[in-house]
Amino acid sequence: MATNTQASPRLKTQSLTCAYAVNGRTAVLQDVDLTLHPGELVGLIGPNGAGKTTLLRALARLLRPQEGQVLLNGQNIWHLSARQVARQIGRVPQSVHAAWPYPVEHVVRLGRFPHRGWLAPFNGKDAVAVDKALTLLDLQSMRHRLLNTLSGGEQQRVLIARALVQEPGVLLLDEPIANLDINHQHQVLAMVRNLVQGYNLAALLAIHDLSLAARYCDRLILLHQGRVWAAGTAAEVLRPDYVHTVFDVTSQLYRDPAGQWALSVQPVDRLALVE
């Protein structure tokens, strides 16, 4: 995987601390530093409650940090308007409300609003962007189908297409394969990786499956208790001692017969520990 780490980062955090006011100030993220470079797919991993979704919200200008800052192409994201940010950052959620009775093309068109506003007419440039995204995601034959008639994998491709028509430099993906079968998981991740490399995007992907994260991502960021516990290549981050501390399992990272990273995991035997 080619990563242009020599170029200036598209997205960067400096000592980022975020908190929610629930019965007082509760810090969810503390002193998080990260960088996303063009052409790089970074996997965001960690147990439930580690702060992955909170971090994605902060990076997308949906949650104002208590301390520190998020820099988008060198500018503090909170010095930019929401529309300016939406033109540069595409978000892909876990899923969309599948009951939406809207055609695929209509859903994808929503991604053009940062460029045209809610009341401006849909123009030729918008149509070209939508057609291009539908073609890239192999959705042309489904453009008139209702979203709620598609499979989970097809719906996920629609969400990615909607983000791409924003023409962003950054993609933020919040567990986009969480509800997909193994075939569609690999399809979506391979597609995201190809888009990141082909369009020189900087992308952060929250993902639970550590083997898939190691296989498809250029770098990994491991969150634990709201802090960056480790960051680097799969071999640097998925060390047995780190995985044991964070996930409470024993593990071994290895290359499978096809040369791909894979992670063998065993739960800790609590009964044996008691004996």
Same domain, 68 and 35: yes
Q: Are residues 9 and 76 in the same domain?
A: yes
Strand, helix or coil for residue 170:
strand
Q: Is residue 15 part of a domain?
A: yes
Is residue 264 one of the residues assigned to a domain?
no
In the block, which residue shows the tokens 């899923």? 95
Could you tell me if residue 215 is inside a domain? yes
Q: Do residue 29 and residue 153 come from a single domain?
A: no
What is the domain count for the chain? 2
Strand positions, DSSP E, 112-197: 170-174
Q: Are 11 and 63 members of one domain?
A: yes
Is 249 inside a domain boundary?
A: no
pLDDT of residue 92: 92
Q: How far apart are CA 243 and CA 98, in angstroms?
A: 35
Q: Quick one: 181 and 227 in the same domain?
A: yes
Measured between alpha carbons, how far is 118 from 3 in angstroms, rounded to an integer? Answer: 36
CA dist 6 and 186 (Å) reads 29
What does the pLDDT look like over 9-67, one tens digit per residue? 999 999 999 987 655 567 789 999 999 999 999 999 999 989 999 999 999 999 999 99
Which residue pairs from 98-103 have beta carbons closer than 8 angstroms and sit at least 24 positions apart in sequence? 98/147, 98/148, 98/155, 99/148, 100/146, 100/147, 100/148, 101/146, 101/147, 101/148, 102/146, 102/147, 103/143, 103/144, 103/145, 103/146, 103/147
Domain closes at, from 166, 189, 211 = 166
Could you identify the residue written with the tokens 């369009």?
199
- Could you read off the pLDDT of 57-105 as tens digits, one per residue? 999 999 999 999 999 999 999 999 999 999 999 999 876 665 568 999 9
> Looking at the structure, do residues 39 and 120 belong to the same domain, yes or no?
no
Q: Say how far apart CA 208 and CA 184 lie, in whole Å.
A: 15
Tokens of 10: 């598209």
Q: Is residue 117 part of a domain?
A: yes
Instruction: Say what the pTM is.
Output: 0.90
Place of tokens 């992670």: 263
Instruction: CATH number of the domain at 189, please.
Output: 3.40.50.300
3-class secondary-structure state, position 243? helix
Mutual angle of helices 124-136 and 152-164, in 10-degree steps: 140
Q: Are residues 84 and 172 in the same domain?
A: yes
Q: Assess whether 179 and 77 both reside in one domain.
A: yes
Whether residue 265 lies inside any domain: the answer is no
Residue at 211 is within a domain: yes
- 149-160, pLDDT tens digit by residue? 988 888 889 999
Residue 172 has pLDDT above 60, yes or no: yes
117 lies in which domain range? 102-166
Helix or strand run (H / E) with residue 89: strand 89-92
Same domain? For 80 and 113 the reply is: no
Indicate the range of 17-31, 57-71, 216-230, 245-259 predicted with least confidence: 17-31
Q: Tell me: do 133 and 208 sit in the same domain.
A: no
Residues 2 and 41 reside in one and the same domain? yes
Q: For residues 89 and 61, give the distance between their C-alpha atoms in angstroms, rounded to a whole number.
A: 10
Q: Does residue 139 sit in the same domain as residue 156? A: yes
